[in-house]
Chains A and B, each alone.
Chain A
Amino acid sequence: MQFISKWSWIFAVVGAFFGAIAVVLYMVIGELGTVGTLLLVAGGSLFIAWAVFDKDNVQAGLSTKQFRYGSGSVVVTALAIMLAVGTLVVTTRHDVSWDLGRAGRFSLSEMSAQTAQGLQEEVSVLAFFPEGSLDEQLFRRLMESYQGETDLLSVDFVDPDSSPILAADNDITNAYGTVILQAGNRSQRMESEFGEESFTNTLIRLFSAEDYRLCWSTGHLEIDPDDDQTAGGLGFAVLKLEGRNYSVTKSSILTDGIDAACDAVIVAAPQRDWEVAEREALAEYIAGGGKALLMIEPRSVPELSADIERYGVILGNDLVQDPEVRGQAIDVADKAFVIVLPEEMALHPITEQLNGPVLLGASRTVAAARGVQGYVLHELMIGSDESWGETNFERNPLEDPLAWQPNLDTERVGSVPLMVASIIADPLVLGTVSPDMAGGLVPGGAVVVAGTADFARNDLYVRGANQDLFENIIGWLVDDEAPLAPGPSGEGDELYLDFVRLSIAVLTAVIILPGLAVLLAMIAAVRRRFQ
């Protein structure tokens, strides 16, 4: 018995070890499980065994002054730890944040904040996420930001595994998360993206009076609206629109005509020219108050290009050149790659809010006709002072860069116009309206004509202010009441480091200040020596 009593402390050590493993298991897996429970029971049993076998020493230890004071100390320290952990848990679950940074990383964008502040009726959000998942945590933080802007947003988080009936009632099939927004009888769902942009768009869609239908002209080798895989596709742009209250349907004007239900027609860089019937169908549609975005590439569809003059817009048969070669900053050294700066854009609803440059790409000139009646015309953007519309497509700037100059007699030179918005105030100016349309003439038809579709391509869409430009054009055409894209938020910091500045930084950071501290160390040493 004495032998057991002498070595019983081993039970305590092993018991503590088992207990520690059980705690670690619980922290890693999130539950004790069979192994953890067994370890905990075994550890507790060993501790009890130690207390029984070494009863005398344990009793003596418990009655000492050190133990009494020490155990009291351990208890109050444990209470302090529990208080700190409890406070951390409560503040994490009901977190409040303040954003002091200029970049606004911890606050909603202006558009999201305006959308939340503009809510007129209560919106209930039912968020189905696996409990404790990262998506749930991020969405919870996002909702806290929105709820900071409005009292009309209520959020309930539901774990589909814990509430299978509620999940089934709401047709929840996505294991990763589904969010349902409800306001009165209306509802919208989010099933893949749960970020700020996605939520704001869903909120806008929830209250939007109508869905907008865009008709995508096909049959002339236009750019595919479904192509979100290749650089030259327009799929990103379409996906973004579909994320809001827009639907995009392809249609052949030649075979189907233009459905009057189309809120706008999009013509995306056709490579095969239009038939007369198609051009007339478009004119009739516009005369009836229809809207269209015409993106016509350089050196393509000459007959359609010429026909666009009936809308008060003149497409140049040229390719815009810019000697400033602004594209170098994005590794594009092509003089024919046009970049338009904010100061080169018009004060027009489409462009006035753009506070970043537009990477337009290879474009032809697009000018408003002069001295014509029946139109309201705006040239939306122009090229640099040195830009010109090159008409000789055979010339190669790589072969003779020095001779690459505009022909002042035949070419449009300096601040060339690049995009025009035209409102048809008098539909009769469109000319070839059929007699049966006479009663259906509606002033206010509009077209936006661009000399390229490059700016909306997948590889350029998210760069500069391109996305905002494209969405603003569509929003202006269909008269979308939802806020137009606000443009990039904030501006970057610039830092130019010349030799003088670098020298000042080096001297200050690694020579003067550390040197001063070393000098003071030496003074301290000398003072101590002579004290």
Chain B
Amino acid sequence: MAVLTIAAREFRATFNSTIGWLVLAAFLFLNGVFFLMWLTYFAEASAQFSGGAYGDVQLLLSEQLFAPFYGNVATILLFICPALSMRMFAEERSQRTLELLLTSPISTAEIVLGKFLGALGFVTVLLAGLLYGPLLLWWWSTPDIGALVTGNLALFLVAASTIAIGALFSSFTDNQITALVVTVSVCLALYIIGAVGDQDSIWGQISILSHIDDLFLGGIRLSDVSYFVGLIGVFLFATHQKVESYRWS
């Protein structure tokens, strides 16, 4: 229960601030531009090939529009999520309210989970703001609902992972900018590290990108899900250990 109370408090705090809404506006605008870009590209290609009527080119909204668009969204989340997570513990430490929180009858796990879910709730609102895309396309064409569901699941998992990573680095410092820079750097490394080897190499297994490709196209692999669950679990657990250390340091 305490988890939900903390999550609701964090969620409300974000939307009570001007910054929260401005982040939402910037997120929607940027992704709106990308969406329009892919939409017009697909429409032109569709007109050129008559939707694959001649067989050699088979255009699918899920593959030629939403997959690259969601790729753009994931890249933007790479910067938005660390900006959300940077204040989680760094702000509490700089304002010296963490001690207050730790002396309250709430466990460290509840604090960490509550803050994580609060930030994740905000990101969920951001992602929900992009649902106009599938809805418009559902009105005008026949998008692949299954691929759209898995594509949004991929974005949700990427956001959750990035917030979990950000939570750990926020717990290490009282400087939000430091937390932001380190988190973005680590997430960026996790994105691009797959380029070092092929998808089945150790680098590909570490990389976030190689675990979202299939999801964007409608395929859910147990290994991809376990990657994200493991990533989120490890970073939240490490955050818990770090915050817990403030009790006895």
Residues of A within 8 A of B (CB): 27, 65-66, 69-70, 73, 76-77, 80-81, 83-85, 87-88, 91-92, 95-103, 105-106, 132, 134, 137, 329-330, 339, 356-357, 359, 462-465, 488, 490-497, 501-502, 504-506, 508-510, 513-515, 517-518, 520-522, 524-525, 527-528
Contact = CB atoms under 8 A, between A and B. Distances in A.
B16 A463 contact: no
B124 to A, nearest CB: 15
B21 A517 contact: yes
Contact of B18 (A77, A91, A495, A521): A521
B219 A100 contact: yes
Contacts of A105: 217-219
B60 A492 contact: yes
Given A92-B205, A103-B62, A510 B36 contact: yes
Given A101-B218, A101-B219, A134-B198, 13 more contacts: A80-B237, A84-B230, A88-B226, A95-B222, A106-B218, A106-B219, A329-B53, A356-B55, A357-B54, A490-B58, A493-B59, A494-B141, A495-B42
Contact of B202 (A27, A134, A465): A27
A506 B25 CA distance: 15
A517 to B, nearest CB: 4
B46 interface: yes
Interface in B1-49: 15-18, 20-22, 24-26, 28-29, 31-33, 35-36, 39-40, 42-43, 46-49
A497 B43 contact: yes
B21 A518 contact: yes
Interface of B: 15-18, 20-22, 24-26, 28-29, 31-33, 35-36, 39-40, 42-43, 46-63, 129, 132-133, 136-137, 140-144, 146-147, 149-150, 198, 200, 202-203, 205, 214, 217-223, 225-227, 230-231, 233-234, 237-238, 241-242, 244-245, 248-249
Given A97-B220, A508-B132, A494 B50 contact: yes
Contacts of A98: 219-220
Contact of B149 (A100, A132, A357, A509): A100
B151 to A, nearest CB: 10
Contacts of B132: 508-509, 513
A496 B29 contact: no
27 contacts: A27-B202, A73-B245, A88-B223, A100-B219, A101-B144, A101-B217, A105-B218, A105-B219, A106-B219, A106-B221, A134-B198, A329-B49, A329-B53, A356-B55, A463-B56, A464-B54, A464-B56, A508-B132, A509-B35, A513-B28, A513-B129, A517-B25, A524-B15, A524-B18, A524-B21, A528-B16, A528-B17
